[in-house]
Structure formats: structure tokens, C-alpha cells
Structure 1
Amino acid sequence: MPHLTKSLLAALLAALSFIFVATPVPTSAQDKEISVDAILNDPHAPIGGNPKGDITIVAFLDYNCPFCKQSAPELEKLVKADGRIRLVYKDWPILTPASFHGAQLALAAKHQGKYEQVHHALMAIPGRRIGKDAMTEAVQKSGIDVERLNGDLKQHGTEIQALLQRNLAQADALGLTGTPVYLIGPFKVSGALTYEQFRKAVADAREQGGQ
């Protein structure tokens, strides 16, 4: 299993053309061995787009992050238009306790094949610091099987908790400090990207050989 050494990690977090400025990797994060396979291929992480795409985007997100909400439809639009992007969702609930609740709901919905349906419903809630009740209501209105969702929350609760802990550990090791963060091929960018910025990032990643 490949690991990110200092040099590989630095390459992963390199500057992304003149549009974006990559954050320098803290020495403590560089010194940690991070499994590339764990970041890109966690078997429990939800996958969107084309599973066999030539470029992978890893998205660290929080359902109470206004910048995540702003860029979510832009990213969804690009993934659909491009057709060759593999999207890995990393639920990273760091802003409020309700963020953790939303992440649990979305990840539980994965067990009925509806992760993205719930993900988009949660991202579409306007405003910031959305409470648990508002998140639950949005999920209930998304058209999923609520009874099954509740059952999956109980049955897979330990698995969901473990996944969230892995996401947290990966974000910490990468030195991430806030949402959203996107690993696009060998590059790292953050903030509310537009469709054109996402498109440019993917094009630059492909020029570098993809990931």
C-alpha cells in the first residue's frame, strides 16, 4: 500500500496554477505517514460521478459550511458535464453538533443507495448553523425510505462513526483547517469554487497525469 512521504505529500498539496494558492504543509503533517489508498479508496466512503474516472476529486465537506453549499451545485454540474470524474465524499463535520447529525444521516442513506440524494438535500438548506431538526426534515422530504434510514442508523452506527473518525484523522494529517477542501488529482484547493475554477483545476490535474 503506497504512503505519502514528505515528497509525495508535498506534491499532493502543490500549488494549482496561477488561479489557486496551495497551503504549505505543516512539518508535523508531512512527517505522518498517510495512506494514499485510505484517502482515495476507503470502501465505506460514498462515491459519486464515474467510479472509473481518470481524475479523482476528494471533497472534505460540512453541512453547515456556507462555502460548501455555494460550491456544491457547481461541482455537481461539472461532474455531470465532464463524465470522467470520480468524486469521493469525505464528510467532515467540524462546525456544529448538527453537522455531525447531518453526516450520520447522509452516510446512513448510503446503505439504500441514496447518499447523494440526501447529500444534495442537506446542502440545499439555506443559511448557516442549521439545526438537527431542519436537517432531519430536509432528509425526510428528500424521498428516501425514512424507516429504513432509521434502521440503518442503528445497524451501521459504529461503522459510520469509524468512517467519520478516519475522515477526521486524514484531514488532521493533511493539515486541513476548514471546509471545503478539494483534493483534485495531485492538487489541493479550498474555498467556494465556481464551475470554471473546478473545470480549470481538473484540466490542470489531467495535464499532470491525473490521479
Structure 2
Amino acid sequence: MPSRPLHRRQLLRSGALATLGTLFAAPFVSSGVLSTKTLDVDALLFDPEAPVGGNPKGDVTIVTFFDYNCGYCRKAAPALAKLVADDGHVRLVYKDWPILAESSVVAAQYALAAKYQGRYERAHETLMTASLRGDTGRFPALLEKAGIDRKKLSADLKTHGQAISALLKRNNEQAEALQLPGTPVYLVGPYKVAAALDYEGFASVVNDARTRAKTK
């Protein structure tokens, strides 16, 4: 992984930009063995439980796989948020993929619980910028400071715990089917970007996705 977010030229040189190609249609293949796992494109792009930001009717969809303990995810998050806000026509699908630590799992659970009070993106931004080291029991207070109702957060985590766990499991299965190397990974239209990007990098790939869609 790069030490800092990549811009467009670095992205092309790094080889981190690739087309998804037949991955959207073919079974997951690992070590020459055909798996029973297949990638359900509708579930990937339109899982009703997955948080969505940006323009829900946007002409380009970005699917972001991330971990709250991933330093590269943290570096790229502000640029992605700014691009989505500036562009106005990008649909952003959040795929919490907590693979780095137990605190990643707890953070993802709380962020997804905040969705039930319409505050997922606020929770996401807070957890992306806060230190997650130490006792995970302080996460509710951290989110309360950000304006999230703490009592409702705890109640929703309990009430919707099974749905949240099921979503995290689906996210992981999709990441495995896509053979993702780790976090962050961004699916931008037909492109898979396995690297942190800066603002220019995100804007360029979105533009490429639009151009490719027009030529089909």
C-alpha cells in the first residue's frame, strides 16, 4: 500500500487501477479451485441494509470497502467525501469491512447502529477521525459528543444486532468474492481501485467511469 494517497498519474503507474471485468459475472476462483461463492451484483450495489451517501440517483456509484483502523482509509476519507459533495452526481455505498482489529468490529457495529437514527455518516466521520486505541466501551460517549443519541444507539445496537452482523458477514463475503487484498478498496463504476486516492485521483476515476459508460 502507498504511504500517502495517490493522484492520477501515480495510480496508473502503481497498477492499483483495474477493471472489474468478469468478476461481476464469474464465480470466485482461488488457487485454481472453483468456489461455490458467486458475486451477486445487486447485493453488492443495492443491499438495503448498506448505508448510502451522496446522490442516491447518481450516474456513477462508488462502493468503498474500509476499516476504521486503516490509516490509508483515514487519509483518503476526506478527499472522497469532498469529491462526492462537489460532484453532486455520485452515489456512495459504504461497506464496513472490519478486518484489522476487534475495535474495528465494534466501531463498525456502532456506526451501523447509528444508521437507525439517520446518523450513519456522522458516526462514520467521527470514527474515521478519532483514535480507536484503548477501551472500546468509550465509543458511545465519543459518538454522543458528535450529536448521536446515545440511548437510542445502544437500543438499536441491541434490537438490530443480528441484522448488523448479517450485513458485516455479507460485506466480508463480497470482499472475498472480489479477491480484495485489504483496505481500502474502491469500486468506481467498472473500476476496482486497491489504493488510497487523493481528490484528483477520485475525480479522475469517476470521470473515466462516466466516459466508459458513454462509449458503451
Output one character per residue of 1:103-153: Cα deviation in whole Å (capped at 9) or x when no partner: 000000000000000000000115x75651453342121101110011000
2:174 is aligned, of 170, 173, 178, to 170
Tell me which moved more, 129-138 or 169-178: 129-138
**TM-score if structure 2 supplies the norm length?**
0.83
Q: Report the counterpart of residue 157 of structure 1 in structure 2.
A: 161
1:18 correspondence with 2:49: no
1:180 correspondence with 2:184: yes
Q: Report the counterpart of residue 123 of structure 1 in structure 2.
A: 128
Partner amino acid, structure 1, of 2:54: G
Q: Report the counterpart of residue 4 of structure 2 in structure 1.
A: none
Structure 2: state its 5+ residue gaps: 1-10
Instruction: Give the Cα separation in 1 of the matches to 2:174 and 2:133.
Output: 24
The change in CA–CA distance for 1:104 and 1:174 in structure 2 (over 3 A counts) is: same
How many residue pairs match? The answer is 193
Q: Report the counterpart of residue 105 of structure 1 in structure 2.
A: 110
Equivalence map 1:53-72=2 (5 Å): 53-72=58-77
> After TM superposition, what 4+ stretches of structure 1 lie above 6 angstroms from structure 2?
23-26
CA RMSD of aligned residues (A): 2.2
Partner amino acid, structure 2, of 1:196: E
The change in CA–CA distance for 1:189 and 1:132 in structure 2 (over 3 A counts) is: same
Equivalence map 1:77-92=2 (5 Å): 77-92=82-97
Structure 1: state its 5+ residue gaps: 1-16
Instruction: Give the Cα separation in 1 of the matches to 2:89 and 2:14.
Output: 22
Instruction: Give the Cα separation in 2 of the matches to 1:20 and 1:53.
Output: 28
User: Is the Cα contact below 8 Å between 1:55 and 1:206 reproduced in 2?
Assistant: yes
1:45 correspondence with 2:47: no
**TM-score if structure 1 supplies the norm length?**
0.85
Instruction: Give the Cα separation in 2 of the matches to 1:131 and 1:177.
Output: 28
